[in-house]
Chain A
Amino acid sequence: MIIKKSELNAVLDKLLAGYQVYAPVKEGNYAVFKQIANGGQAYLGYSNSKIPPKGILFPQSEKLYSYSVTAEGARVEEHIDGSKKVVFGIRPCDAKSITLLDFVFNNDKYTDPYYMTRRNNTVLVGLGCNQPAPTCFCTSMQSGPFASEGMDVMLVDIGEGYVAQALTDKGKELLAGLGLPEASADDQKAAEDVKAAAVVSCQVNTEGLKAKLDAGFDDPVWNRIYEKCLGCAACTYLCPTCHCFDIVDDAVDCNGCRVRNWDACMFPLFTLHGSGHNPRPSGKERWRQRVMHKFKYFVDNFNATACVGCGRCIKNCPVNLDIREVLADILGSEARLDK
């Protein structure tokens, strides 16, 4: 099927009748995913959003339940968001990151009803990347500019329009409701050409990385990697796969609510015990945890790397700590970063 660019706004408006629609919206020099009120707000000419869309399913701050306590008991009311949503224009790396969050929030023992309810009610309409950014290294992280993992619909920008392909039942249902024209053979061909032309220029060597990390908890490399890190956690807040959180109360007397907020392993208090003991006392242990979690522990547990190569941590680190270089460093000097 095809969505002509001239008809994009109308298509989005149609979606708005049945769904909450989230799309990239231009803010200054960058794009951010926001809930839109009309099709005209969407801005698809972006390379990637500054903040990952993970917050649509896992908000930065979220009320879990409210309560009121009396002498006899407590009334607890959970706040589960069951609204139907569409994320329109999500990039392949970010769509993949959601499949990784699924492992966490639906683990071998527990299901997180907040995330999973939203997840089950959300349709992901992905947009392939014609022009990946210089910080992108998705092809080294089991993704790619036209990878479709996690998407329900994939869009390919062929200039005057988007060729749309449904990938799941959810996607089929969504497209069916839009009454779009079929893509012609020429359109299909154009889409194939665009896919073939996209190049991710940066490749990161990951050969032997897992083996190196399996044996490398005490590797001297950790003694220097973290040195210039400020512990600001921009890298983790902006990472589409990071999922750590804190739980706090927001209350006046006996009436209040319990809220969860994003948190990060780069903060010193994250693992500090009540006794004063801290298993990760310095930046060294915290950087090791960040790398190990993404490239070893996640692989051990879910057979997937918890990095999709979106490059946000590279672009936004105030001291230019570059995870690609860190990985090369861990692998040793023979593994160069090809730019």
Chain B
Amino acid sequence: MQRNPYLPLPMKLVKNFTETSDKLIHTFTLQFLSEEDEKSFPYMPGQFAEVCVFGKGEAPFGIASSPTEPGFLKFSVAKVGVVSTALHLMEEGTIVGVRGPLGNYYPVEQMKGKNIVIIGGGFAFTTLRALATYILDPKHRGDYGNLMVIYGARNPGLLLYKDELAEWEKRSDIDLVCTIDRPVEGWTGRTGFIPAVTKEVSPSSENAVAIVCGPPVMIKFTLPVLEECGFKPEQIIMSLENRMKCGIGMCGRCNVGNKYVCKDGPVFTKAELNQLPNEY
């Protein structure tokens, strides 16, 4: 029998970083306790894990770090309930559990040779950061064409990974388009909602894949824009976030039609989703 998929791997929380100005999102850096542990956790961008706070429970979070960054895992967590609040209050040095990696991942193999358009809204940017970081790694950068990242938040303070965004801004091998909903003092960048901004920059669908992650309304209005740009359902990749517990297709919670988001997803192409009922 394979490894018990319910058992968490103990990891040390080495950094609890307040990511956003409203303090509702923290980014956690978790360190593997041994090399062996790290080997037992081979993951890819787009996968998630059940993070467990002993005594409180577990909750699924997308892995925000990329496998090209060895030694640790990163999660950016919004404070909404029991586990997320416990994490927010956690002192550095505490042991937490991680169960995974779970789910499928962005099809980085099939994406080779293509231009990549990453579109993210709000704090759903976590696994998109993992994907961009993976592509930007010198080992992989040559495998992909142009990389455009369209990323928006309500206001500048709510953008995740600001240091990295600043770095990406300086690089020539990534075209970063950041936007905030409304003009505010001190922000010299773009303003406007993601669908409108996407329309403005109008990414080419020629030999391209678009990966979209964000709140349901953003997705709803961004997809038609991508279609206008010529993206076919097979060229659009999304990641779903149905409520989960087991993460392994057994607790019966996260299905959309006959697919379990935890086991068959969370990554699906729009073409695949078109075959499923709209229940997510």
Contacts and interface: CB of A to CB of B under 8 A. Distances in A.
Interface string B220-255: 000000000000000000000111011011111111
Given A65-B6, A74-B95, A297-B257, 13 more contacts: A64-B6, A107-B249, A107-B263, A113-B1, A117-B1, A242-B252, A243-B250, A251-B55, A256-B54, A258-B52, A271-B243, A279-B279, A280-B279
B95 A71 contact: yes
Given A271-B243, A297-B255, A249 B56 contact: yes
Contact of B95 (A73, A242, A260): A73
A243 B252 contact: yes
B253 A73 contact: no
Contacts of B249: 104, 107, 109-110
B97 interface: yes
Nearest to B122: A275
Interface of A: 64-65, 67, 69-74, 76, 78, 80, 104-105, 107, 109-114, 116-117, 217, 242-249, 251-254, 256, 258, 260, 263, 265, 270-275, 277, 279-280, 285, 289, 292-293, 296-297, 300-301
B55 A285 contact: no
A247 B57 contact: yes
A263 B248 contact: no
A247 B246 contact: yes
A109 B263 contact: yes
Contact of B55 (A64, A242, A246, A253): A253
Nearest to B84: A274
Q: Which of A107, A109, A112, A270 has the most CB of B within 10 A?
A: A109
B250 A107 contact: yes
A249 B54 contact: yes
8 contacts: A72-B95, A76-B10, A107-B263, A111-B5, A249-B57, A272-B243, A274-B78, A297-B255
B7 A249 contact: no
Interface in B46-62: 52, 54-58
A263 B251 contact: yes
A247 to B, nearest CB: 5
B110 interface: no
A105 B6 CA distance: 13
B1 A296 contact: no
A285 B280 CA distance: 12
A296 B258 contact: yes
Interface in B164-205: none
Contacts of B78: 274
B95 A244 contact: no
A104 B56 contact: no
Nearest to A72: B95
A111 B263 CA distance: 12
A279 B93 contact: no
Given A74-B10, A113-B4, A279-B280, A67 B252 contact: no
Interface string B122-154: 000000000000000000000000000000000
Contacts of B274: none
Given A69-B54, A244-B252, A271-B243, A285 B279 contact: yes
A304 to B, nearest CB: 13
Interface-centre pick from B4, B54, B78, B84 (highest chain A CB count, 10 A): B54
Given A65-B6, A247-B58, A300 B245 contact: no
Nearest to A104: B250
Contacts of B55: 69, 249, 251-254, 256
Contacts of A293: 252, 255
B70 interface: no
B42 interface: no
Contacts of B58: 247, 258
Contacts of A251: 54-56
Nearest to A301: B258
A274 B10 contact: no
A242 B54 CA distance: 29
Contact of A78 (B7, B95, B280): B7
A274 B1 contact: no
Nearest to B263: A109
A42 B252 CA distance: 34
Contact of A112 (B8, B84, B243, B250): B250
A299 to B, nearest CB: 9
A289 B252 CA distance: 11
B111 to A, nearest CB: 23
B246 A74 contact: no
Contacts of B242: 271, 273, 279
B80 interface: yes
A67 B10 CA distance: 11
